[in-house]
Structure 1
Amino acid sequence: MNHVTVVICNYNYAQYLATAIESALAQDYPATHVLVIDDGSTDGSRAIIEKFGTRVSSLLKDNGGQVSAYNQAIEILDTEYVIFLDSDDVLYPGAVSEVMRFFAAGDCAKVQFRLDVMDGTGAPTGAYVPHNEPPADCRKLLLGGWLYPSPPASGNAYSVSALRRIFPVPEADINRYGADFYAIYGVALVGRVAAVGQSLGGYRVHNAGGATVAFANSEQLNRAPEAVNQRWAILRNIARARLQVELSPTFHDFALEKARFCSGVYRATLIERWRWMMRDSSHYLHTIVANPFWSLKKKLGTLVLSSMCLVPYSPLSDFVVRYIANPLARRRVAGR
């Protein structure tokens, strides 16, 4: 039987950490190991880890960021497979068993699965991520610069040997975070990506709700483009040096362009909205029209909604932006 480690990377999430650890320990796959890496927490997280005793392994390190935690974990892992579980998320009891069924059925570098979106209290919102399945050949599209649909960090299981062809990655400056970017897209250059068509865990959104454009817990909208552009450049260098693979100088990702769209038109004046759409929307529109993962219906619907940002009525424009950017806003409308 192949062994799996659930690695829980934590920094100052004491209020959620025990729940994450318990969900990893509750897995019904017998060869599941749990490793908790604490990245210099100051909020009592380490006392929580100690309470689990020998049921978990732990690595207590100085604060260095998520990338440093991934680098160290991948270096010391002694199992064939790994799931990186964020310390504010959870796995359902059968998650590892289902993932290992997919690994056993074929030669995969990664198995991804849906995550149900939870609010800050852990209550389900009715939404899930991602909404699209990855293509049969993620590598081919990635070589052309298209970032394939993937869940956040906690919704991915990896072959450790595949990860070691990508990691370690640089840890400095803005690259302290976003380790899952290199894992998610790097391993697709190494091997096949398989997808489980059901939710196997929960993704906690701390400010869950449809009244905001935010749908993430990390970088602010205005910092996301800079960070992801730098990560793509670093991944290109890694692919060239370690895999002898040449990635496109530029990449296409609707999630990133959506952040730019929100920054440009949300709560903006009519003149500012028109100016952004006329001058700066080309990449945003390209990731809709040329998107290889979307149906024609979805493309047309997104284009029509986007055009409604040009109406003179600001509340309608802002509602449309929230509807496009935040899946929870759509749930609110559907529930009325």
Structure 2
Amino acid sequence: MEPVTIVICNYNYERYLAQAIDSALAQDYPATRVVVVDDGSTDGSRALIEGYGSRISTFFKENGGQVSAYNHAVDIIATNYAILLDSDDILYSSAVSDVMRVFMSGDYAKVQFRLDVIDSAGGQMGVHVPHSEPPPDCGALLKRGWLYPSPPASGNAYRVDALKQIFPVPESGVNRYGADFYAIYGVVLLGAVATIPKSLGGYRVHHTSAPSVSFANAESMVKGSSALGMRWATLQEIARSRLKVDLPVSFHDFSHEKAHFCSRVYHAPLTTRWRWMTRESRSYLHSIIANPFWSLKKKVGTLVLSSMCLLPYSPLSDFAVRYIANPLGRRRAATR
């Protein structure tokens, strides 16, 4: 049986870490190894980790950020396959078994799966991510600049030899965080992606009470969108220098364009909304109309919702923006 490593990178998530470790230890795949890399936590994480004794392998390092933790994690993985689990997320017990069944069926660099969105207490929120499934050959589209639909970090399993060609990643500046970007998009330049169309884990969203356009945990939408451009430039250099692959200067990604859309039209006066849609929305509309991962139905629906921001009634406009930006907004709309 091919062994698999679940690596949990942790920083100050003592309140969730035990759930992540327990979910990794509970895998029904016997050849699962669990490794925890602690990035200099200052809470009670170390004592918690040490309490698991020999059931897990542990590595404690000085704080350097998420990219530093990933660099260390990828370096120490000794198996051919791995899952990099965020310390506030969980895996369901069959995750590794299901992933390995797919890996053994073909030559894949990555196997991805859905994650159910859970709240800070672990309760199901009634939605999952991602909402679209990419084709196996995502690398060809990435070479044209298209970032393919992927779950967050915890919803991806990798062939380790592919990860080791992408990492280590430079750790300074914007690259303290966003390590999963390089894993998710880098490895598809080295092989095909397979998608398991069911949820095999939980993605924890910490702020779910008030209606908002923000969904991701780590960064605000605008800050994260700005950092994405710099990470793309870093990936370009890695691809060029290590893989001899030339990526385009610019990239296309609906999530990236959506952040700009939300920042300009959410809670904005009618004149501002009209100005943005008529003068500044070209890239946003292109990311919808030319999107190679979306069905015609999804494109039309998103265009119709986007056009609602031109309506004079601002509460309806803001509702449409939230619906587009935040999957939790769709759940709330469906339960009304």
Bin the TM-score by the shorter chain: over 0.9
Q: How much does 1:70 deviate?
A: 0.6
Match of 1:59 in 2: 59
User: Partners in 1 of 2:215 and 2:147 — Cα distance?
Assistant: 18
| Structure-2-length-normalised TM-score | 0.99
Structure 1 partner of 2:73: 73
The residue type paired with residue 171 of structure 2 is E
- Please identify runs of 4+ aligned residues in structure 1 that moved more than 3 A: none
Q: Give percent identity, aligned residues only.
A: 67
Equivalence for 2:166: 166
Q: Contact conserved, 2:83 with 2:156, CA < 8 A, in 1?
A: yes
| TM-aligned CA deviation for residue 180 of structure 1 | 0.5
Give unmatched runs, 5+ long, in structure 1: none
For residues 279 and 64 of structure 1, what CA distance do their matches in structure 2 show? 41
Aligned with 2:100: secondary structure? helix
Under a length normalisation based on structure 1, what TM-score does the superposition of the two structures give?
A: 0.99
Contact 1:86–1:154 (CA under 8 A) maintained in structure 2 = yes
Equivalence map 1:232-311=2 (5 Å): 232-311=232-311
Aligned ranges 1:26-45 → 2 under 5 Å: 26-45=26-45
Distance in 2 (CA, whole Å) between partners of 1:221 and 1:93 is 32
Corresponding residue for 1:181? 181
- The answer (yes or no) to whether the contact 1:210–1:332 under 8 Å persists in 2 is no
Please give the root-mean-square deviation of Cα atoms over the aligned residues, in Å: 0.9
Q: Secondary structure at the match of 1:24?
A: helix
Alpha-carbon distance in 2 for matches of 1:190, 1:116: 28
Structure 2 gap ranges (5+): none
Residue 327 of structure 2 is matched in structure 1 by 327
Letter of the 1:222 counterpart: V
State the partner residue of 2:6: 6
Is the 1:210–1:329 Cα contact (8 Å) retained in structure 2? no
Partner in structure 1 of residue 221 of structure 2:
221
Tell whether the 8 Å contact from 1:109 to 1:187 is kept in structure 2 after alignment: yes
Question: Residues 214-267 of structure 1: CA distance to partner in whole angstroms, max 9, x if unpaired?
Answer: 111011122122210011011011111111111111100001111111111111
Instruction: Give the Å deviation of 1:47.
Output: 0.9
TM-aligned CA deviation for residue 19 of structure 1: 0.4
SS class of match (1:28): coil
Q: CA deviation at 1:137?
A: 1.4
In the TM superposition, what is the alpha-carbon distance from 1:279 to its structure 2 partner? 2.0
In 2: Cα distance, 1:268 partner to 1:46 partner: 46
Give the drift of 1:54. Answer: 0.8
Contact 1:210-1:326 within 8 A present in 2 as well: no
Measured after TM superposition, the shift of residue 209 of structure 1 is: 4.7
- Partners in 2 of 1:183 and 1:106 — Cα distance? 20
Deviation of the 1:210 alpha carbon: 6.5
2:155 aligns to what? 155
Q: Which residue of 2 aligns with 1:134?
A: 134
Note the alpha carbon deviations across 1:186-226, whole angstroms, 9 max, x for none.
00000111111111000000012561111110111221222
